[in-house]
Structure 1
Amino acid sequence: MWEFVLWGMLGGAANRGVNYLEAAARVKGGKPWRRPKGPGGGAYLAALVVHLFIAGVTAGAASTLVQGPTVWMIFGIGAVAPAAVKKAGQYALALAPSGDTGEDADELEVGEDDEK
């Protein structure tokens, strides 16, 4: 199973490499993690670690569910996993209630509730 986790992490690294190339093209020759056009090196490294973790866990779980998994299948699952989790998170946030009660909290004055 551990070899499949590593192959999944390699797929996640490939996904992250494509993300890097897209970001480098957007920044036009600069390093995408450098400020002011990027979040900084710490945030970029944290995102890399999280993507590799998601890819490894997903690939490890998939390798136990599939009978006779191949290395390329697990590599592909690891490459797709971070993007799929990101998309699922976006859907979950869109469906979650916003918690907005319709009143702007900044407009409420102290003691306003006492008058009601």
Structure 2
Amino acid sequence: MAKQMKIRKGDRVVVLTGKDKGRSGEVLRAIPKEDRVVVQGVNMVTKHQRPTASNQGGIMQIEAPIHVSNVAMADPRDGAPTRIGVKIDGERKLRVARRSGEVIDR
């Protein structure tokens, strides 16, 4: 059984390594089977798109998946990278920023 990813769609993350180091963005898509996430405006690649009935085609810039180990959650308090912990509140599990202790879940 694969380990559960603590980063989900809609989370604000900071890139830790690679050409986009230091940039932050929102997670557009999480791919748990491959341990990857797609972050808005990060890891942009060029794709040549053939024209179809719905789009005109051409050379497009799209976001490629990045490994989840290369990103960290942005702390809700100041936006710096932080690890994620779990706090149990009654019967609910809440994600908590280790750096500031603030609850991340909506």
Answer whether TM exceeds 0.5 for this pair. no
If the length of structure 1 is used for normalisation, what is the TM-score? 0.23
- The higher radius of gyration belongs to 1
| Structure with higher RCO (Cα < 8 A, 6+ apart) | 1
Higher share of residues assigned strand: 2
Higher share of residues assigned helix: 1
